[in-house]
Structure 1
Amino acid sequence: MGGYVFTADIASEAEIKVSSPEVDLPSPAPTTVLDVAAASAAEATTGPARSSWLSALGGRMAITAAAALCAIVGLAAAAPLLRSNLIFKRSPPVVAVMAMADASGDPLGAVMATEIAGRLTDGLARINTISVIAPRSTAPQPEQAASLAAPPDFDIRGELQRSGPSWTLRARLIQTTSGKVEAVAAVSVDADERDPLLQQTRLAAGVGDVLARRLNELIETGTSSADGGVTAGGARAAIEQATASINSVTQERFSMAQTMLQNALADQPDNVDAAVALAALQMRGIQMVWYSPDAAAAAEAQAAANLERALRAKPNSIAVLETYCRFLSATNHFVESLVICARTLSLDPWDGLALYLVGLGQLNLGRFEDALATFQQADRYDTPAVSRWTWLLGVGWAHMMMDRAEEALPWLQRSIAITAASGRPYMLLAAAYQRAGQIDEARAAIQKGLKLRPGTTALNVAPPMKNTSPVYREAAARIVQLMVDAGLPAQ
């Protein structure tokens, strides 16, 4: 016999009142993303559509699904001739989350481990390309496995430890048939943090992000990274070198990296990884104004074409979707970016970069409260940590757009403590100080911003306004005036 088991936590009314739903909920932000994307699409007459591919996306995905079914049938017939790890036993693959082992030696450890396993399960269950089995204490015995309709393709096993001032969660993604470890994730949080719900959320999100991405790679390629995939050695080396320098590349090295990737793509025109890496590099060049106006337009067109082609080839790839999401946001196609970012989050609900870009789209479309909630959700997940400054900046920016300088200040200060980026965060901080009446601090912040971004004036300090809402433009003008009051040159 088979069936379903529904489980629910039961709490008294008094307990419910003192809970912290904003942290306790597994992830409310993606629901907001989908709702806002739908609403924005209905209002898209305020700006031009990105391209014809968006309207045909549903049809293409249906065709892709049909083609995938045919491919599965063909591969099944040829299975004896193929390596066993090139095809899953079923589609979608089944992932079993094992109960987290408590090796902390802390009285709270067992409760923490159980809660983390539940949060990890909840997040993985929202990924629409896998099926998830709720936590079990141990692997099934042979007689138990025989009674299951279909054994899982993967197990996720984790261990919670307490070391000094930190909780550390280690998790492994294991192929059940071969025992091969496909991914290892480890994340630590401050044990002195007074909010245990936040600790549990960040531990689950930290490992969940790594495991979701690895599962996505396995599903998209059908093989592990050790096999090399479909990217030849020369192209792979070019991609690795260029990708490693995208965020830190100087203008002098930019042309060399672009040439390297263009050559790799010329050698392998169907190489999706090379196309995505080139588009990401070109997007960096556009943002840093390293192109002439004509060259920037050509680079944007080439990046869009490469990303659309990559999306057709891999419509469920996190790497492709995330890069396209960034591209659409960087080129001010905010409605379209919400749609693509929502798709990214349906494959990795803990993707902090996608959440930040969703918040950015909401901000530019004048939905300040939605943006604030999304940035705060990214902060609760805190994945990846390297992008932490972005959602801290986003929370401060959203507060400033709603004229809440006092609330904005600590978030902006924390963001700048990580990185001052191009100097704009200092100028936003100056506006917050000016609005809060801290005049000396405002002038000092403007001078630091101008040192990092010389030549900035009231005419060029704001990002491009194309496709932004009137509500956004009104709030942005108020902030720019505060910067001028703090010492930013008017022109």
Structure 2
Amino acid sequence: MGLAVAAPALKPDLLFKRPPPRIAVVPIVDASNDPRGAAMATEVTSRLADGFAKIQNISVVAPRLMVRSGESAAATAAASDYELRGELQLSDQSWTLRARIIKADTGEVLSVTAASASVDEADVQLAQSRLAAGAGHVLARRLNEILEPSASAASTRKPSAGGDKVAVEQALASINPTTRERFGAAQAMLQKALTDDPDNVDLAVALSSLQLRGIQMVWFSPEEAVTVEASANAMLEQALRLKPNSIPVLEAHCRFLSATNHFVESLVTCARALSFDPWDGSALYLIGLGQIFLGRFDDALATFRQADRYDTPAASRWTWLLGAGLANVMMGRDEEALPWLQRSIAITPATGRSHLLLAAAYQRSGRFEEARAAVAEGLRLRPGTTRLNVSPPMKNVSPVCLAAWDRVVQAEVEAGLPEK
């Protein structure tokens, strides 16, 4: 009787544990008219099913399970909450996977995306990985949005007509080519939007993430950095309370821990972000960076290579390319580091630190003229850099990493970096 009286006041999950939503991964349709198409579609389907099976808050009905149990695809889909469907097409130059998530009971299309991979790709498995990751990354994030609606006070305020989303998109778009001026414009845009809507979790996460990038780029004075760090921490703690399973919130927290040199904690939080989007290259980059500073160079290189195999999101590609170059330099594999660093700089050349790292690799490879040119470009982009201030903050860094970093800085000095 007491339970019956209390039931209306209790959340249903407290009385009866709800099963996680089910998503049926329907075999991808081969529309390529190519002998290779059927095998490619089968493999990409399996990779998508395996990836979604890693997502923490859903369960997956995989195509091979349908066959083994004798169920038809239609019957299995009908027993699921969502369906993932796709078609594989082939042009003269690329494979294209078009995929969508559909609400099973209504047929409503909730998300649509397309991913491409080169037909000339020498590594067929790499093409399969990038097709699955390109579609899976977008669809996993959309599914996360559906399953983790905002728990902020937004539900009680007047509708913003999408103004908060526009502010976030415009701010982030303005800093794709990262410069200090664009950073300042994006920060001002988000601060104004958050002032107008102080309870908006998405705006708070976007602003804290942006400010942490500013800390990493040393675009704040030491005094400003302390204030910004405290503010970002407060915003993220509030966001985590409201949306603990949100990918953007977990990414922002992961980035905060990395930027403030809490590397062990960052590995845990970034891994949690991956448990909702297994193809999250940004989280993989931050995991690799933490492994670098903890002296686990081989692990870091493997992590950066995994991010490169996924290549999602494309806007963050320069980060794991830089990370792979850094890992190789830290291990003394300078020739192997060069193509990674060159590819990263070709995408985002404005940091300066990348050029100085490139200079160290050139110097230790005996390419002294190129080393001096790289130092000159690094100093042009980052004037005032010397041996004394070229290193990132070294709090909580392992002795193995410190020793390797000292060798890198010495090579930069030999290539022309001023002592002071």
State TM-score, norm by structure 2.
0.88
Among 366, 372, 376, which residue is 1:447 paired with? 376
C-alpha root-mean-square deviation of aligned residues, in Å? 3.1
Q: CA deviation at 1:447?
A: 1.4
Q: Give the corresponding residue for 1:119.
A: 47
Q: Give the corresponding residue for 2:5.
A: none
Pairs aligned (count): 405
Q: Give the corresponding residue for 1:380.
A: 309
Among 306, 320, 344, which residue is 1:415 paired with? 344
Q: Give the corresponding residue for 1:129.
A: 57
Among 292, 308, 317, which residue is 2:237 paired with? 308
| AA in 1 matched with 2:134 | G
CA 1:240 to 1:111, structure 2 compared with 1: closer, same or farther past 3 Å? closer
Q: Give the corresponding residue for 1:273.
A: 202
Residue 103 (str. 1) matches residue 52 (str. 2): no
Instruction: Give the distance between the partners of 1:175 and 1:341, measured in 2 at CA.
Output: 29
User: What pairs up with 1:12-31 in 2 under 5 angstroms?
Assistant: none
Residue 200 (str. 1) matches residue 200 (str. 2): no
CA 1:148 to 1:100, structure 2 compared with 1: closer, same or farther past 3 Å? closer
Instruction: Give the distance between the partners of 2:180 and 2:364, measured in 1 at CA.
Output: 36
Residue 347 (str. 1) matches residue 276 (str. 2): yes
Question: CA offsets, 1:388-430, max 9 Å, x none?
Answer: 1211111111011111112111211222222223111111111
Q: CA deviation at 1:283?
A: 1.6
Q: CA deviation at 1:335?
A: 1.2
Is the 2:116–2:131 contact (alpha carbons within 8 Å) kept by the matching residues of 1? yes
| AA in 2 matched with 1:168 | T
Residue 484 (str. 1) matches residue 413 (str. 2): yes
CA 1:109 to 1:309, structure 2 compared with 1: closer, same or farther past 3 Å? same
Residue 334 (str. 1) matches residue 243 (str. 2): no
Instruction: Give the distance between the partners of 1:250 and 1:149, measured in 2 at CA.
Output: 48
Q: CA deviation at 1:308?
A: 0.8
Instruction: Give the distance between the partners of 1:205 and 1:236, measured in 2 at CA.
Output: 25
Residue 324 (str. 1) matches residue 253 (str. 2): yes
| Partner SS, residue 148 of structure 2 | helix
Q: CA deviation at 1:188?
A: 0.8
Q: Which has the higher mean CA deviation after the structures are superposed, 285-294 or 184-193?
A: 285-294
Instruction: Give the distance between the partners of 2:413 and 2:87, measured in 1 at CA.
Output: 53
Is the 1:395–1:408 contact (alpha carbons within 8 Å) kept by the matching residues of 2? yes
CA 1:348 to 1:237, structure 2 compared with 1: closer, same or farther past 3 Å? closer
Q: Which has the higher mean CA deviation after the structures are superposed, 345-354 or 409-418?
A: 409-418
Q: Give the corresponding residue for 1:435.
A: 364
CA 1:481 to 1:231, structure 2 compared with 1: closer, same or farther past 3 Å? farther
Instruction: Give the distance between the partners of 1:197 and 1:253, measured in 2 at CA.
Output: 38
| AA in 2 matched with 1:199 | A
Q: CA deviation at 1:152?
A: 0.7
Q: Give the corresponding residue for 2:98.
A: 170
Gaps of 5+ in 1: 1-68, 77-89
CA 1:350 to 1:231, structure 2 compared with 1: closer, same or farther past 3 Å? farther
Is the 2:82–2:102 contact (alpha carbons within 8 Å) kept by the matching residues of 1? yes
CA 1:112 to 1:137, structure 2 compared with 1: closer, same or farther past 3 Å? farther
Instruction: Give the distance between the partners of 2:362 and 2:121, measured in 1 at CA.
Output: 29
| AA in 2 matched with 1:194 | A
Question: CA offsets, 1:134-190, max 9 Å, x none?
Answer: 12799xxxx979976971111111111111111111101111111111111111111
Instruction: Give the distance between the partners of 1:244 and 1:272, measured in 2 at CA.
Output: 19
Q: CA deviation at 1:252?
A: 5.5
Q: CA deviation at 1:73?
A: 5.8
Instruction: Give the distance between the partners of 1:450 and 1:481, measured in 2 at CA.
Output: 16
Instruction: Give the distance between the partners of 1:128 and 1:73, measured in 2 at CA.
Output: 17
Residue 179 (str. 1) matches residue 80 (str. 2): no
Q: Which has the higher mean CA deviation after the structures are superposed, 319-328 or 261-270?
A: 261-270
Instruction: Give the distance between the partners of 2:73 and 2:33, measured in 1 at CA.
Output: 32
Instruction: Between the two structures, name the one with larger relative contact order (CA 8 Å, sep ≥ 6).
Output: 1
CA 1:73 to 1:447, structure 2 compared with 1: closer, same or farther past 3 Å? closer
Q: CA deviation at 1:350?
A: 0.4
Question: CA offsets, 1:419-460, max 9 Å, x none?
Answer: 223111111111111111111121121112122212111111
| AA in 2 matched with 1:195 | D
| AA in 1 matched with 2:79 | P
State TM-score, norm by structure 1.
0.76
| Partner SS, residue 169 of structure 1 | strand
Instruction: Give the distance between the partners of 2:369 and 2:187, measured in 1 at CA.
Output: 44
Instruction: Give the distance between the partners of 1:268 and 1:191, measured in 2 at CA.
Output: 47
Residue 191 (str. 1) matches residue 116 (str. 2): no
| Partner SS, residue 221 of structure 1 | coil
Q: CA deviation at 1:222?
A: 8.4
Q: Give the corresponding residue for 1:43.
A: none
CA 1:282 to 1:209, structure 2 compared with 1: closer, same or farther past 3 Å? same
| Partner SS, residue 63 of structure 2 | strand
- Taking only the aligned residue pairs, the percentage that are identical comes to 64
Among 278, 288, 292, which residue is 2:221 paired with? 292
Q: CA deviation at 1:241?
A: 3.6
Instruction: Give the distance between the partners of 2:253 and 2:82, measured in 1 at CA.
Output: 29
Instruction: Give the distance between the partners of 2:157 and 2:51, measured in 1 at CA.
Output: 27
Instruction: Give the distance between the partners of 1:190 and 1:205, measured in 2 at CA.
Output: 14
Instruction: Give the distance between the partners of 2:20 and 2:222, measured in 1 at CA.
Output: 46
| AA in 2 matched with 1:173 | I
| Partner SS, residue 132 of structure 1 | strand
